[in-house]
Structure 1
């Protein structure tokens, strides 16, 4: 209890006592972003703040920024309902804005229900987004639910009333799926059943055809990475591959043997050397190098592919891959044409540190805010001292960034984390 008011959680009590940040920086960030970002971008930004649990009081941020977050909501409704003269009151606009934020959170396995004091969209008032036919159906179903009457309903709809994805699939005649060997066979089988179900409405025969009669082209190389099965054996990995699916026997297999990527742009003198390298890679993939083996063998690597500098191997590698990096750093094609791959994040960190040191200017450090989430435990008996911030900051987990991010002005930064899985944003930016 703070000032005579019972707080729903310790976090709210600390906020009322002024022990937590007031989220002013996040409010200002949304207002600043509104000068150049669309309404959808702002709603996505707010959802990202919620997902990161960085807001001390999300409801306060909402109250101070909802007018910015709701930008474009009215126009979207006018376009959706084909009613240019449509008008909405403040509560309806807020409700539709919350509904769109909720959809973003749901796509990322979260919900507004998880955030204390955040308002929830009123499902009943969302009928403004329905057509008259949809409204009647909605009313009948909700009446049955509210009266606890039970009931069975079937919504008979023809093409054009389906979801956008189903409508898009109906127009599709060819689907190309690259890097297929990396995907679990269940994904292909799920797509097969889905397409059969969609296209049988037009022709019952499609239910018996692979992928509902649509042409599917898979591409990839089984010599490369197969589906990742955590803790799985070799047999588990093979069983999860596309070649183990019931669909494989219906695939017509073609083989391409000429490596176009390695020969494009090669002059005559380097052509033979490039072809020898390509053959060497192919022999490794097919297990022809080394003695007879069952997946493990000792392979001799040609001397021209080895780093022969025992004193500074990383420096020699950087100089070989990124010659004159400072002069070419403003040219995007320079970085598109080269890369250094490493099997461990620890090695990647060392290479990044060396490359960063080559650029002039002062370093700027950004630190994460790591804390232990007690809800992850199945019991309340644990020693919090074992999980101090220093311990958490030192953890280096695959798939998560390290505690400290060091940048310099003008250094290229690649964003590889898809925060919005549906939009799948992947881009390269320059830090300024």
Structure 2
């Protein structure tokens, strides 16, 4: 006996039990013999009452007689006590959860890092240290049941027509798998077979079929039930699962279907989809609550929160028409898209088209759906984001070239067209025709100062940009570039190298934003072109061919890759500076000496001096 036990006094047990049964025999009115602890003279006062040793452990007469054992019983008059009583009776043997892990050695500098690397997996710790008591072990060894259900439940599978699940091994031949699947019978297909064979079967819906029929899994057929009872449960389908969800709805009301077409038939009309059938039967109440929810949320939440709510509705709510939900609320869902793009690209006055805003909003929604392993492809009717537009939405150069007020530019283009003289108008029409017909050509507009070259550039730029076409306007000098709308120097915009050679190329990488800008450009205007070495034009033409041939193989044989390029300037003004070069070297550096560029060039000459056109001089003096 444990010497630390409370009943031990001076190494002896202080508990006293009767030496013989007769000494403590108590006979009740029913003649039952009982026993109790004796009165040893020790008393205690509890709530004003004196209690002796006999009142320490009360005895229940019925339990003692029934089980012939001494049973300690308390009178539990509180819910908390009752809960503890049953928990105490069923808690099982004592157990402890332990875990063994290797000690980590670390110093002062690596102690924090070691703590971060330690991974605690409570589930694995529990499984590895799980204690099975003796009673549970015996129960499982003898294979006693640990749960039962009444009545039995028959789980009913269902599938779309031609969409049965297939399980096969890696080594199986595909033709053998297809042959086996072709004759595969399921509870759904055989329900239709039973409806064709037995008129009585047509009185039950698919979910109630197991109440009167038994599924023979070995024979893959239904037979009438003779004994026992059972209920049917169709496997769950999420509302976002599409046609499968609507098929499950119909299987809970349709009786006597002999084929899949019968399930889609309402009043003699075969509907194309199960969803349309549900609409015809009035099973879908519509999406009014989801529309109202988005309208209400739009009054206080931002675009990001609305998109989160929209995705939640698609994932967890029974949205019957996702397309209509998108079309009615896409403006609210894209409320912050322009602002986000302005912040991302650093363009304060950025403007996006309707298609760009919708596309970028769809991209944000797609990202939220992907977080839950879903996609917009799972929701019929909602358009998918256009990858090309997404690339454009993230391309700052493209956005800058589209960031114009087309209405204002159209008005400017009409005014500028009216001010063109006959020669300017001829050049203007030829260049526009080449652009509209996508006929890659090279033009050189020759004219001295004052003949209206800059005026012509402005007319061309305004006309094409008002039609949302991209025009790259560059000049060889910074002063000339300032005269062009959104003009840039040629070296900064199209990356012409400072040190040129016969085999030079511009620093434009395939797939870059600048390469995409060049691919989409309709017209390139280069003012003061004679100031650049001919190797610069050859390098640009070589680079354009490399960029364009990825999308059009014929571009590698065209000058400037098939782009319409307009050069302008006056050879009588400043030519390219050749260090320590004479007249021969300077002339040889001119674009007119390029054997690959100049032979392809169509030259137009402007002679009318627009500055003195309104004077009293005759036409000969004006053109002189």
* TM-score, normalization by structure 1: 0.30
* TM-score, normalization by structure 2: 0.21
Flag the structure with larger Rg: 2
Bigger strand share: 2
